[in-house]
Amino acid sequence: MVRCAIFAIGSELLEGSIVDTNSAWLGSRLTKAGFNVEQVRLIPDNREMIVSIFRQALNEYDCVLTTGGLGPTFDDLTAETVAEAVGVSAVLNETAKEHMINRLKNRNVTIKESHYRQAMLPEGCMLFPNERGTALGFGVEKNGNVIISMPGVPYETYLMFDEHIMPYLRSRFEMKERHSVDIRIGGLPESDVDDVLREFGFPEGLECIINVAKGEILVKLRGFDVELINEYAGRVRGRFEKNFIGFGTDGIAAVLLRTLREKGMTLSVAESCTGGLIGKELTDISGSSDVFMGGIISYSNDAKIRLLRVPENIIVNHGAVSEECARAMAIGAANQLRTTASVAVTGVAGPNGGTAEKPVGTVCIAWCVEKTVISKKFDFPGDREAIRIRTMKAALIGLNDLLKKGSL
Amino acid sequence: MVRCAIFAIGSELLEGSIVDTNSAWLGSRLTKAGFNVEQVRLIPDNREMIVSIFRQALNEYDCVLTTGGLGPTFDDLTAETVAEAVGVSAVLNETAKEHMINRLKNRNVTIKESHYRQAMLPEGCMLFPNERGTALGFGVEKNGNVIISMPGVPYETYLMFDEHIMPYLRSRFEMKERHSVDIRIGGLPESDVDDVLREFGFPEGLECIINVAKGEILVKLRGFDVELINEYAGRVRGRFEKNFIGFGTDGIAAVLLRTLREKGMTLSVAESCTGGLIGKELTDISGSSDVFMGGIISYSNDAKIRLLRVPENIIVNHGAVSEECARAMAIGAANQLRTTASVAVTGVAGPNGGTAEKPVGTVCIAWCVEKTVISKKFDFPGDREAIRIRTMKAALIGLNDLLKKGSL
């Protein structure tokens, strides 16, 4: 068992100006590789505090990872505190200096004295390349344990970790890879999923973890025996057949795009209360353009009428938030964008705009598949953001269900 | 000085299945109220570890806040570990039990024996209402310090904290509110902003913090003297007049909507590479519908030609990623949605689709204001997500500049 600690450095993280996402990303990578992440901690830019935490961690953990604090400003304390904790000096590292100068030249930034601060690294440290930024990663050993420091910019750290640090860790520690299967389930409350899983009685060495994200439940099966995991993953899927979205960490957007691709279909969207969120979610995925043709954000009634050809009397008689309107929007999107499938949403995301009859959270969704239209009314809990995310997920899950099973 | 620690409990957080956003939210609230957040730590669902960390924190900090681990399953250890750390028993709390039964009844969930586990709280604890979920918050004292536990669901915790816990903390600790002004700056590298701010020589008692988020720089001035802060905020703004986006934590979308509203203008969007992200960002803001009419997600060329009336020869001669195409898209959006302003984006978000002439990151943006069209070509760094976010921000910043200053 290789024990790890992850430290994210920077007062802005503790003050909540920035959410630390690096630690979760690293935690996920390390866990998968078989490491045990036992501590994640955010540390303010306080020299004594950082040194004392590093020292303690180097006694306790096989592997300590840090992000942040590698910049050129006086707030950036990671290199000197690592040096102090390990008991070496921070010295000008020529390789790090060269790298920094080259990067800054390419960006046409004038090099200043203060920049050199960034190349002061613990004496004798190993270096990890940074293809995306000025600060190299570095690692030092103490008591047979290792501390490795990376930049705070996720885009830089992710590549550095995958390409250089993980290979180093794998060569240093003999790891047995942890296997896991994620099973995504939609449209059921957590307690129902929990009840079913309790009956399973998973064997020793197979962990089952349930996570809930807005509108979706993620069941993770995890362990070192890949065959056992796959066997149980199949059994769990079987028990939730009707609500099964997919395996893997793919969200419903990726699953739906795959379904459409398999069937040779194309997709358009008509979005009112989500205002572009469904399109954004689909186009987050590279390569979506072969299936997703586009959409119409019909935030105003006028846009619904003119761009989507929703008959005005539908809006007058039923309101813009109605299944009738959603159905007309779905037909309009499919016609205007000439797609074989479409999805349309209209609702009250709040916090304002709710009425007794149509309170905040009322959302109508319609799906059009080969000119057949189906619609459904939802009553979503949560705030504006939660309602919009639930609407997006329900829209995509609904279409995938229609295409896979022919019904909702 | 009131010292605080925040603990987020749950193995899923350390394993990176879920990103802990509660701690940043609480850290921001506490910092603003004048507290010093000195530790944020994620703790796995391990009884001994939790108890030992709670015990140590209750010796060291005036106020310890925890989120997560209040559910009914065997993984949920917060109540019993708080009890153990403080040295009291966990007992069935009748108020908590009543609350839970009522909430579950409203949701038509059958109440099971396991649910009662959730109402086992430290003996003699104070309670904090949860208007949005089944688990009440609770607090206990030890050594004159206090530990308060909240649910892990952000939607529940945010309301509980603002309505019940913060008022309690304010009454318990005599706090001097920390004032801060956020100054948002766009279109400048961090090092340039840093250089200018170094010259300022901020007085004692006024902190200046620079944070960078994709495409925007946030300068935070902070301290207890509100007049001093406002004076310096005005001076900082003056030095960055050309790149000043706005004060406050409002993003550029909120600033732009306000500018449009002041001028009595309406907005539409035409999105290719962002696929709905610009519309999503605008409609994240409640009340955007008085200004934002909608948009067209023209992911395919066909959609650009038919829905936005982009002349086909523009796409043939210049390509879909060209200033010419962006300009035609902007005109098309304004015409189709009958708005006085519009913005259009088309680009290569990657990772595929780049060419030697138009590599990944090439983005063309056009703005149409009262029938006058201006366009600009960008070369954005970063991965797909970063390029899309930078495109969105540049599109909104550009329009706001055009409206405020008449030029980019």
Give the pLDDT confidence of B91-147 residue by residue, as tens digits: 999 999 999 999 888 777 778 777 888 899 999 999 999 998 899 999 999 989 999
**Cα of B43 to nearest chain A Cα, Å:** 6
pLDDT value of position A291: 96
Phi, psi torsion values for A265, nearest 5 degrees: -105, 165
Say whether residue A335 is in contact with chain B using an 8 A CB cutoff: no
The distance between the two most distant Cα atoms of chain A, rounded to a whole number of Å, is: 78
Burial class (CB in 10 A: 0-12, 13-18, 19+), A366: buried
Using only C-alpha atoms, chain A has a radius of gyration, in whole angstroms, of 26
Contact B16 A29 (CB under 8 A): yes
> A272: nearest CA in chain B?
B294
pLDDT value of position A245: 80
pLDDT value of position A112: 78
Select from B20, B44, B289 the Cβ nearest to the Cβ of A38: B44
Say whether residue B337 is in contact with chain A using an 8 A CB cutoff: yes
| % helix, strand, coil for chain A, step of 5 | 45, 25, 30
Contact list, A14 vs chain B (CB under 8 Å): 27, 31, 37-40
Mark whether B268 and B236 lie in a shared domain: no
* Mean pLDDT on A317-339: 97
pLDDT at B274 over 90: yes
Of A104-113, B291-300, B388-397, the poorest mean pLDDT is in A104-113
Q: Residues A19-45: pLDDT tens digits?
A: 999 999 999 999 989 999 999 999 999
pLDDT value of position A72: 80
B368 residue type, one letter? C
Of all residues in chain A, what percent carry a pLDDT higher than 90?
A: 71
**Cα of B237 to nearest chain A Cα, Å:** 20
Contact criterion met (CB below 8 Å) for A306 and A264: no
pLDDT-derived band at A119 (thresholds 50, 70, 90) equals very high
**How far is residue B85 CA from its own chain's centroid?**
34
pLDDT-derived band at A244 (thresholds 50, 70, 90) equals confident
Residue A219 pairs in a beta bridge with: A183, A210
* Mean pLDDT on B323-347: 97
Contact list, B297 vs chain A (CB under 8 Å): 269, 276, 279, 283, 294-297
Half-sphere exposure of B81 (CA within 13 A, CB side): 30
Contact B38 A49 (CB under 8 A): yes
pLDDT at B197 over 80: yes
**Cα of B232 to nearest chain A Cα, Å:** 20
Residue that is last in its domain, among A226, A247, A268: A247
Chain A stretch 370-399, residues whose beta carbon is closer than 8 A to a beta carbon of chain B:
382-386, 388
Mark whether B166 and B184 lie in a shared domain: no
pLDDT value of position A249: 65
Domain around A373: 252-405
H, E, C per residue of B231-270: HHHHHHHHHCHHHEEEECCCCHHHHHHHHHHHCCCCEEEE
Mark whether A157 and A223 lie in a shared domain: no
A110 residue type, one letter? T
Supply the CATH number for residue A165's domain: 3.40.980.10
Mark whether B74 and B38 lie in a shared domain: yes
Contact list, A253 vs chain B (CB under 8 Å): none
Say whether residue A282 is in contact with chain B using an 8 A CB cutoff: yes
Q: Which of A22, A36, A25, A26 is nearest to A178 (CA)?
A: A36
Mark whether B44 and B154 lie in a shared domain: yes
Mark whether B128 and B258 lie in a shared domain: no
Say whether residue B95 is in contact with chain A using an 8 A CB cutoff: no
Contact list, A155 vs chain B (CB under 8 Å): 382-383, 386
pLDDT value of position B125: 98
Mark whether A297 and A189 lie in a shared domain: no
Say whether residue A37 is in contact with chain B using an 8 A CB cutoff: yes
Q: Is the dihedral of CA B302, B303, B306, B309 positive or negative?
A: negative
Cα(B66)–Cα(B30) distance, rounded to whole angstroms? 13
Contact list, B220 vs chain A (CB under 8 Å): 17
pLDDT value of position B292: 97
Q: Would you list the DSSP string of B342-408? A: EEEEEE--SSS---SSS-TTEEEEEEEETTEEEEEEEE--S-HHHHHHHHHHHHHHHHHHHHHHS--
Supply the CATH number for residue B348's domain: 3.90.950.20
Mark whether B219 and B114 lie in a shared domain: no
Of all residues in chain A, what percent carry a pLDDT higher than 70?
A: 99
Supply the CATH number for residue A195's domain: 3.30.70.2860
pLDDT value of position A277: 97
Residue that is last in its domain, among B208, B231, B247: B247
The distance between the two most distant Cα atoms of chain B, rounded to a whole number of Å, is: 78
ipTM surpassing 0.90, yes or no? no
Mark whether A144 and A160 lie in a shared domain: yes
Q: Which of A246, A301, A240, A221 is nearest to B294 (CA)?
A: A301
pLDDT at B192 over 90: no
pLDDT at A56 over 80: yes
Q: Would you list the DSSP string of A3-37? A: EEEEEEE-HHHHTTSS---HHHHHHHHHHHTT-EE
Mark whether A316 and A344 lie in a shared domain: yes
Contact criterion met (CB below 8 Å) for A153 and A66: no
Of residues A232 and A405, more confidently modeled: A232
Mean pLDDT of chain A: 92
Mark whether B87 and B205 lie in a shared domain: no
Contact list, B155 vs chain A (CB under 8 Å): 382-383, 386
Mark whether A198 and A282 lie in a shared domain: no
Q: Residues B2-61: pLDDT tens digits?
A: 999 999 999 989 999 889 999 999 999 999 899 999 999 999 999 999 999 999 999 999
> A298: nearest CA in chain B?
B294
pLDDT-derived band at A358 (thresholds 50, 70, 90) equals very high
Contact list, A249 vs chain B (CB under 8 Å): none
Say whether residue B209 is in contact with chain A using an 8 A CB cutoff: yes
pLDDT value of position B405: 81
pLDDT-derived band at B249 (thresholds 50, 70, 90) equals low
Give the list of residues 6+ apart from residue A3 with CB closer than 8 angstroms, or none: A35, A36, A38, A60, A61, A62, A63
Total tally of structural domains belonging to chain A:
3
**Cα of B280 to nearest chain A Cα, Å:** 5
Helices vs strands, H then E, count in chain A: 16, 17
Of all residues in chain B, what percent carry a pLDDT higher than 70?
A: 98
Residue that is last in its domain, among A172, A195, A210: A172
Contact list, A26 vs chain B (CB under 8 Å): 16
pLDDT value of position A214: 62
Tokens 């009738």 label which residue?
A: A324
Q: Which of A148, A15, A12 is nearest to A78 (CA)?
A: A148
* Mean pLDDT on B154-174: 94
**Cα of A382 to nearest chain B Cα, Å:** 7
| Beta-carbon pairs below 8 A across chains A and B | 254
> A336: nearest CA in chain B?
B307
pLDDT at A304 over 70: yes
pLDDT at B214 over 70: no
Contact criterion met (CB below 8 Å) for A4 and A169: no
Select from B220, B279, B287 the Cβ nearest to the Cβ of A352: B287
> B17: nearest CA in chain A?
A28
Chain B stretch 60-89, residues whose beta carbon is closer than 8 A to a beta carbon of chain A:
73
Select from A73, A276, A278 the Cβ nearest to the Cβ of B295: A276
Contact list, A218 vs chain B (CB under 8 Å): 17
* Mean pLDDT on A260-275: 97
pLDDT value of position B172: 94
Contact list, B382 vs chain A (CB under 8 Å): 155
pLDDT at A110 over 80: no
Q: Residues A133-184: pLDDT tens digits?
A: 899 999 999 989 999 999 999 989 999 999 999 999 999 998 888 888 889 8
